[in-house]
Amino acid sequence: MSYEFLPPLNFLGLPEEHSDREHSRVLVLPVPYELTTSYGQGTRNGPRALLVASQQVELYDREFKGEPALSYGVHTLPFLAPNYRDPETAHAEIAAAVAAHAGEALLCVIGGEHSISGSVAKGLQQVFGEFVTVQLDAHADLRDEYEGTPYSHASAMRRVIDNGGGPVLQLGIRSLSVDEAEFIATQPDKVETFFAEDIHAGKHLERLAEFVRGRQVFLTIDIDCLDASLMPATGTPEPDGMTWNEVLESVRLVAANAGKVIAFDVMELAPIAGMQAPDYLAAKLTYKVMNILLADSSKQENS
C-alpha cells in the first residue's frame, strides 16, 4: 500500500527547492513562548497558526508583479522550545538562537509574546553591534518591570534598549502608563514616540525616514499595532489603531531608507478558534514585509 505524509509546516508551504536553507535568503524562527501575558492568553499558539495560515497566502504579489518568495526563498527553522521554568534561562536561549542564525539571511522571528523581542535584540547585538529599532505597537512596553518580572511583555522595549537596540522609534502607540509617559518625556535619546493620531495625520513619515537613514535596523511588529477591528486576535487589543496601508507605508519607508534591515519580528498573535481572518492577516503581513524588505536585491546582497 502506498501512502503520503503531509508536507512540513513551513512558511507559505514552499516546496523544497524554494525553502532549503542553503539557497534561502530568509530564515523564519518560530518562538511559541508565552509566560507573562496579563489579559488575553494564547500567544503561544500564534506561530503555528501563522504558519498554517501562510500556506493559504497567494505567492503572487501585485506590487512586485511576480511571486517574490520563489526568487528569494524562505527556510523555516524548527520551533524553539525555551525553558518555561526560568524566564532568565528562556530569554538567554532565545538570544542564543537568534545569534546563531542572524547574519546569514534576513531573520524573521514569529511569536509568541512581545517580551521575546528584548532577547531578539540581545542576539542581534552579538552579531551586528549597534543598531536602532522601529516598533509598531499599540502599547509603549517601556515598564522597567511588570507584575514582578523584568521579562514581561510590558517591558519588551526597555529590554530592547538595555540589550543594544536603542534608540527606539515607536509608531502607533495608544496605551501607556504614567511611568512610561515619564520615560518618553525624560529619555528622548532612548525613545521617540508617535501616537496613533500622529500616524493617521502622517506626522511620522519624515522623521521615520530620517531615523533609519543609513543605519542597521531591527523592525519589531506587535500585531496589535493594527486596529482591533482588523486584528481582534491579540491579548490586549486597542481601538483606533493603524490601518493595513499605514503599516505597509511605514515598512516601505524603513526599507527605502535603512542602511540594512537586519531582522524583523511579528509578535502577539493569539488565535481565536473558528476565526481564520486574523491568522491569515498576520501571515500575509509577514509575507508582505519580506517582499518589501527584499525588493531591492542589490541593496540586501551588497550591504
pLDDT at residue 112, rounded to an integer = 86
The reply to whether 259 falls in a domain is: yes
Residue 101 near residue 75, CB atoms below 8 Å: no
pLDDT at residue 36, rounded to an integer = 62
pLDDT at residue 298, rounded to an integer = 35
pLDDT at residue 84, rounded to an integer = 77
End-to-end C-alpha distance for the chain, whole angstroms: 52
Amino acid at 228: A
The reply to whether 85 falls in a domain is: yes
The reply to whether 13 falls in a domain is: no
CATH number at residue 265: 3.40.800.10
Q: Which cell goes with 87?
A: 524566564
Residue 99 near residue 93, CB atoms below 8 Å: no
Q: Which residues of the chain have pLDDT under 50?
A: 297-303
Spatial separation of the C-alpha atoms in residues 218 and 124, rounded to whole Å: 8
Q: Which cell goes with 294?
A: 527584499
Q: Tell me the CB-side half-sphere exposure of residue 125, using CA atoms within 13 A.
A: 18
The reply to whether 10 falls in a domain is: no
The reply to whether 183 falls in a domain is: yes
Q: Residue 199 belongs to what domain range?
A: 23-296
pLDDT at residue 85, rounded to an integer = 81
Predicted structure pTM score: 0.93
Number of domains making up the chain: 1
pLDDT at residue 285, rounded to an integer = 98
The reply to whether 8 falls in a domain is: no
Spatial separation of the C-alpha atoms in residues 206 and 128, rounded to whole Å: 26
The reply to whether 173 falls in a domain is: yes
Spatial separation of the C-alpha atoms in residues 151 and 96, rounded to whole Å: 16
- Read off the pLDDT of residues 202-253 as tens digits, 9 standing for 90 and up: 999 999 999 999 999 999 999 999 999 999 999 889 999 999 999 999 999 9
Residue 30 near residue 48, CB atoms below 8 Å: yes
The reply to whether 104 falls in a domain is: yes
